[in-house]
Structures are given as C-alpha cells and as structure tokens.
Amino acid sequence: MLEALKRLFRGHQEIGVTSDTDRSETIKQLKFGQIPKHVAIIMDGNGRWAAKRGLPRIAGHQAGMKTVREIVRVADDLGIEVLTLYSFSTENWKRPRDEVNFLMKLPQEFFNSEIKELKSRNIRVEMVGSESQLPGFTMSAINQFREETKENTGLQLNFAMNYGSRSEILYAVEGMLRDQAGGHLDIDEVNEETFARYLYTRDLPDPDLMIRTSGEIRISNFMLWQLAYSELWFTETAWPDFKEKSFLQAIQDYQRRSRRYGALK
C-alpha cells in the first residue's frame, strides 16, 4: 500500500500537475487492498471532442493518445494487473479511409514515444483481437512491443485492435471444433473455463471494472463473455478529457460496490 501511495505521489510530480487537496483526499480514501485486478476501457468520444473544438476527428484521437499515456501510468502506479483498452473495433473499418489509416499508425507512434518508459516500468504490452486484417506496419509495431516487453512482469497493457466480441466467440468455437476433430479436445470436458481458454483473452482474469467514457451507455461488442460479472462505470467525460482524477473516481466508486456474483452477501 505504501509503495502504491509513493508511486502515485511521484507520478503526480512527473506529469506536472500541481498538488491539490482533493486529489490527496481521494488517494487517501482508496482501499489499496481492493484495487481491481483487470480494468477494461471503452475510450469513446474522441471525434466529438474534436468536433466541439472545430478540429478534424484525428485531432481527437491524437488527444486521446495523451490520455492513454496518463491512464497507463496511473494504472501502473495503482498496482492494477491488467489494463485493456478498446482501440479499434471490427466495426471501425467502416470509417473513412484516412481515419482508419491514422488509427492503424498509432501503435507505432505509441511504441516510438513510450517504449522506454514502459520498459522501465516493467509493463508488458499485448494485443487482443484478430491479427488477420491488420496492416503489416500495425502488426510490426505490436510485435515489436511483444518482443521487447515479453519478459516484463508488471502491468499487462492490452490494446484491443480489430477486436469484436462476437467474432472472438466464433473464433473460440472454431478453435474448439478444430481441436475436437484433431482429437485434442473431449467435448464432455468442455466447461466455462475450457471455453475461456479459446478466447483472445485466454489466460487473463475477467475485467473487474469496465469504464466507458463520453456518455454512451452500451457495450458495443466489447468482451461480452468476459464482462458477465464486471462492474460497469459510465461517465459523460470524453476520452481526451478523462484524466487521472476521473480514473481515481471510477476506482473509488468501484470499491463502494457490493459484488455478489448472484449469491447473497
């Protein structure tokens, strides 16, 4: 707990935000024994954030990258084990070509600017989603991340790229059928745990907390299986404006929830 507190206060100085009593109070109220292990985020509202300022949509995504940097640091400081960011959905291919191209280049940009710090923080970077349609330069950035951070044992940062939950479920079913046909899987042994191992998220714990920014109250084909018992937290704040303060607020609210998994308390 003391370590997490120290990290939070040190991180705060690094990002140059002047100390305020609100923040210290929020941090003091956090229960460090009850930090969610896995937080998943639908980073929504970049386009609207840009439109409000008369800027092109890609300026919103660029601003959203800054938030990614900040939230990764805070998640790491808090001792969160897994952070999954919905970065590009299987439906996002329907967007204008320029916007898609811009989004596809972000992993390389993020690699160039962040790899040093991510490594120094012992963060492992992975991707969840279908690799098949992603351009070579996007996969090459992701594979560089994988290669350079594979030994890291701290926070696991997952970019959900070309991710769609329904297609993930189909991919799992196909994998199971293939293994059954090959004699590697006995259908009588199939249970929830076996099934989960065929998903892109295979060995990850289910998210404890799912955050969606920018006022939409829906799941949008994100981790339908994995979110079965997650706590959901929504905010009107657009992703580029979602800062440490909002994140800590979400964690604090999560800690007030009573998780019963269908049982009685």
Chain contacts with ligand FPP (rule: CB under 6 A): 43-48, 60-61, 64-65, 68, 87-88, 92, 103, 106-107, 110, 159, 239
Nearer to ligand FPP, 44 or 176 (CB): 44
Tokens of 83: 């952070």
Q: Is the alpha carbon torsion for 45, 51, 53, 55 positive or negative? A: positive
**Which amino acid does the sequence have at 95?**
R
Shorter beta-carbon distance to ligand FPP: residue 88 or 254: 88
- Report the C-alpha gap between 157 and 128 in whole angstroms: 10
For ligand FPP, which is the closer residue by CB, 134 or 204? 134
* Identity of the residue, 106 or 123, whose beta carbon is nearer to ligand FPP in the bound complex: 106
CA-to-CA dists, residue 214 to 36, 39, 210, angstroms? 22, 17, 14
Structure-block tokens of residue 149: 């951070």
* Nearest residue relative to ligand FPP (C-beta): 47
Query: Any idea which residues carry the catalytic annotation?
Result: 44, 92
- Nearest Cα neighbor of 204 from 186, 181, 230 is 230
Task: Say if CB 40 and CB 210 are below 8 A apart.
Answer: yes
Shortest gap between Cβ of 123 and ligand FPP (angstroms)? 13
Number of helices (H), then strands (E), belonging to the chain: the values are 9, 6
